[in-house]
Amino acid sequence: MDERRALVTARRGDGRAEIPLLPAGSSRPVPGWQEQGPDADDPQLDLEEWRRRIRRHPGELKALLRNQAFVAGIGNAYSDEILHAAQLLPFRKRTTLAAEEVDGLYESTRSVLNRATGVLRERVPPTFETEVRDFLAIHNKGGQPCPRCGTRLTEVSAGGTATSYCRGCQR
Ligand SMILES: [Zn+2]
């Protein structure tokens, strides 16, 4: 339990004080302090539940999809795939989404994960992560043409994490 509280010890003046690892004002919950979200492919996560949960998270869409307090189980690659399927830019804020875009994000999440599960099931046993991910549409394919609109895919990297998206058909 203690390690989940994410505390670091910092020197301050003549003494030591424990301070939270997260910066002040961060909306990201400390793991273990808030409920973990349902699995992204949990049948109980229906559209109503999705709409209800997403209201609590105002931030960027890519971070939102990867936030385990929102939904669990979506990693870096699939967050790119889902946003491309939904035609939404990864750095767009959730607060700017129209109601139909919130619903579209739900549909894309389900369809991308269902498709991935189907493909992976056909390929038993998987050998390497890169091998079982060769069916992804855009992740790690910066510079290649978008499968939907042909625009050259953009790839940006922050902190060792690659984000791929299309400026042509995601907004
Ligand atoms: Zn495109």
Ligand 1 mean position to 109 CA, how many Å?
A: 18
Alpha carbon separation from 115 to 23, 54, 118, 149, 162 (Å, rounded): 37, 23, 5, 21, 22
What pTM value is reported for the model? 0.73
Ligand 1 mean position to 21 CA, how many Å?
A: 38
Ligand 1 mean position to 10 CA, how many Å?
A: 46
- pLDDT digit string (tens) for the chain, length 171 residues: 333 333 333 333 334 444 444 444 445 555 555 578 999 999 999 999 999 999 999 999 999 999 999 999 999 999 999 999 999 999 999 999 999 999 999 999 999 999 888 877 777 665 545 555 678 999 999 999 999 999 999 999 988 889 999 999 999
Ligand 1 mean position to 91 CA, how many Å?
A: 16
